[in-house]
Structure 1
């Protein structure tokens, strides 16, 4: 059954990608920005590439993240299992409400209110048809098990559709911070869907792509019908900044490769790190076009392979084996950032940061054999509990960045992260007459682990200039 759903998913992602390319190919050139120089119609500057890059990356990330979606959910379940704040039910509409409010206060956008409403109606209709059509075809179960309509996330699609409308009407018309605020609200909505255990990470990635594509299609249809009617005058003093200070905020995600697969310490014998993932928020303030100061708040998780873990014969008698919760480390590093502008809106970026990191607590858990579950009162018993302390950390990275809009860019990057943590480790010792388990602190020599890794990933950057 799982393979059947995966086959459907791959077909749907392929369809979305092709649909996105076909739709954006017909787009007209955006006229909200006045360039200082004549437009160069090279391949990288075509409207097709500019408008399809972000959705294509989101659909590609959906496919890549599919095998790891349960690992990502495990992180949520370990740290905030009781998160129940349904702000996402309302925040998804906030960017659209902002368009209405700005028009009500006579803040002029790209189009008149009537034309903006027509574009919005087409976008909403296309988005609803795509989301509901895919949901009914894919039938992916929600992570909370409540229904089989998880993929893609309708809340996220609505939020990003509304954010794209806000960006088109105001962000690209001379109010870039308004556009950034819209996408920030959409991103918060997407995070809320995952934190509330209503959607997998793949659902929100695909939902964001659908929301953006739907808006591009909705505006394209309106352009064909309305032509130049209902368009406000162009902004006269809104050139694309070429050599401004590239201060930014950025969301990034990547594939984390550990530099040491073997855990240190005798208690970890035959337990190995597997490659994991990294998620982070980053930003920097630049004093000039080349140099800035900033920081990164991020989290990296590494699943563990304990298939060949050695168990004491007495333990092996009652257990079928053990599994280990993923290792995780969160960190805040700050330091200098560098940017070198190249031709055609490309940039080379770099950073060298240092700060503090904290590892996540977790357990090595025994799978109790059925015949012993009644005696122990559980099917899963924590065998070793670990709690890493805080430690100094540092990171260094380099990236290549392409600006695809006045205030947006896509970045491919690689980062090296280094930290070593001492662990407090408690091993299962005995069970008293009342059925309570007791644990014994292991010597310090047993608990010391390096979280060193190299991350390869992509980031979506919002410039603040």
Structure 2
């Protein structure tokens, strides 16, 4: 039996009082209220939206830096599949109903739940858009936050999840949330939204559907519910195959990332963003892979320009140093009591460093002379290299197919690296670069990343 929202609040208060009055007996006294609190229906239904909203806050200061990845790797991406893919999960529900494949609820009750969900989502998204007035990355309008396409996609994905994923097979949920995630990625790749926009949109979509179903449950009670299927047990000790998205901070562990050990240019704390998955052959061992990005802003605050450069500029900046990697290998999982897991991985593969520039911001006179507001005076070009990662995590399953994981990953790679300096500008305004004598031959991209992951189990 699920606990209601009022019971959850009471349990939270009881938990706080227990901690205050009986801290010396924490091991025995707190176990029961903590367990009951985590099993609250309200806690389980709001945990994922809360994590997504937390990620929205964390990524907000870095949204322009994260968009830089798109601009540097695929600046001409223009594939508007996201305009259509957002409707794929709800279309799946309609097709399954037309084929007389029963979901959790009757078609009438499912439609009412969906109508409430869509109404809530629409009101929340449009109200925030008009109030926030955030400019889109492509500067076409000031209604970027939150992403309406993403909110629609995750509303539809959660609808499919609740009707068929939780009732028949989790692969319905995986398909629905995969299409929703692809929609969210498309909004960023098409330069229509910041990462904070899509994270908030996903949170609103999931929360709106949960609230829509809650309202419908209060109206219909037990009417319109199909009988539970016998082949839908709660998987406690099954094979924990999974798909996962993670986001966190990245900290350099290599002096090389100071850009040739320069005292003028040095990296600051960056971010790590990626997806991974594994197929487990038993409950402890599996094989999988990861595809991720790490990016490090480069500070040029200590740079002192020489007299020649001061004549045309008073400031410069360096594009972030980044790396993307694809590694595969063994994954490990060890189940603990109360649906906790210890996880680990040891992968190897290939990594690619991102090319970038050291850029002068030209003064008005120089801008007129060069015909451009900025002038790249130095380029860095890393080459492809082998890489390996080792990681550990602690994971808590909060629903049948959903878990939250705190992770730490170490990446090791060493790249051939070349630095080019601006040599001259020809009559057509084209810039010519030549290798800087004594430039780097190898550079280590070793770094440690840590953050949170959202896991979807496939069992």
The CA RMSD over aligned residues, in Å, is 2.0
Aligned equivalents of 1:313 and 1:447: distance in 2?
Answer: 29
TM-score (norm 2): 0.90
| Aligned equivalent of 2:72 | 78
Question: Do residues 115 (structure 1) and 89 (structure 2) align?
Answer: no
Give the counterpart of 1:307 among 297, 301, 324: 301
Aligned equivalents of 2:334 and 2:192: distance in 1?
Answer: 42
Give the counterpart of 1:184 among 150, 153, 178: 178
Q: Following TM superposition, by how much is the alpha carbon of 1:266 offset from its aligned partner in structure 2, in angstroms? A: 5.4
Q: How does 1:69-148 map to 2 (within 5 A)?
A: 69-148=63-142
Query: 3-state SS of the aligned residue for 2:96?
Result: helix
Q: Following TM superposition, by how much is the alpha carbon of 1:416 offset from its aligned partner in structure 2, in angstroms? A: 1.1
Query: 3-state SS of the aligned residue for 2:228?
Result: coil
Q: Is the 8 A contact 2:117 2:155 kept in 1?
A: yes
Give the counterpart of 2:55 among 38, 53, 61: 61
Question: Do residues 277 (structure 1) and 271 (structure 2) align?
Answer: yes
| Aligned equivalent of 1:354 | 348
Query: 3-state SS of the aligned residue for 1:419?
Result: strand
Q: Following TM superposition, by how much is the alpha carbon of 1:262 offset from its aligned partner in structure 2, in angstroms? A: 6.3
Aligned equivalents of 2:358 and 2:189: distance in 1?
Answer: 24
Query: Compared with structure 1, are the counterparts of its residues 83 and 218 closer, same or farther at alpha carbon in structure 2 (3 Å cutoff)?
Result: same
Query: 3-state SS of the aligned residue for 1:326?
Result: strand
Q: Following TM superposition, by how much is the alpha carbon of 1:261 offset from its aligned partner in structure 2, in angstroms? A: 6.1
Query: 3-state SS of the aligned residue for 1:278?
Result: strand
| Aligned equivalent of 1:450 | 444
Query: Compared with structure 1, are the counterparts of its residues 265 and 274 closer, same or farther at alpha carbon in structure 2 (3 Å cutoff)?
Result: closer
Once the two structures are superposed, residues 389-421 of structure 1 have per-residue CA deviations (whole angstroms, 9 ceiling, x without a partner) of 111211111111111222221111111111122
Question: Do residues 410 (structure 1) and 404 (structure 2) align?
Answer: yes
Q: Following TM superposition, by how much is the alpha carbon of 1:265 offset from its aligned partner in structure 2, in angstroms? A: 5.8
Once the two structures are superposed, residues 51-82 of structure 1 have per-residue CA deviations (whole angstroms, 9 ceiling, x without a partner) of 11101100111111111111111111122121
| Aligned equivalent of 2:28 | none
Question: Do residues 343 (structure 1) and 337 (structure 2) align?
Answer: yes
Q: Is the 8 A contact 2:259 2:265 kept in 1?
A: no
Aligned equivalents of 1:264 and 1:257: distance in 2?
Answer: 12
Query: Compared with structure 1, are the counterparts of its residues 331 and 24 closer, same or farther at alpha carbon in structure 2 (3 Å cutoff)?
Result: farther
Question: Do residues 390 (structure 1) and 371 (structure 2) align?
Answer: no
| Aligned equivalent of 2:232 | 238
Q: Is the 8 A contact 1:340 1:347 kept in 2?
A: yes
| Aligned equivalent of 2:318 | 324
Q: Following TM superposition, by how much is the alpha carbon of 1:358 offset from its aligned partner in structure 2, in angstroms? A: 0.9
Query: Compared with structure 1, are the counterparts of its residues 208 and 434 closer, same or farther at alpha carbon in structure 2 (3 Å cutoff)?
Result: closer
Once the two structures are superposed, residues 316-373 of structure 1 have per-residue CA deviations (whole angstroms, 9 ceiling, x without a partner) of 3222222111111111112211100011111000111122111011111111121121
| Aligned equivalent of 2:27 | none
- What residue ranges of structure 2 are gaps of 5+ in the alignment? 10-33
Give the counterpart of 1:220 among 214, 221, 231: 214
Question: Do residues 208 (structure 1) and 197 (structure 2) align?
Answer: no
Aligned equivalents of 1:148 and 1:403: distance in 2?
Answer: 38
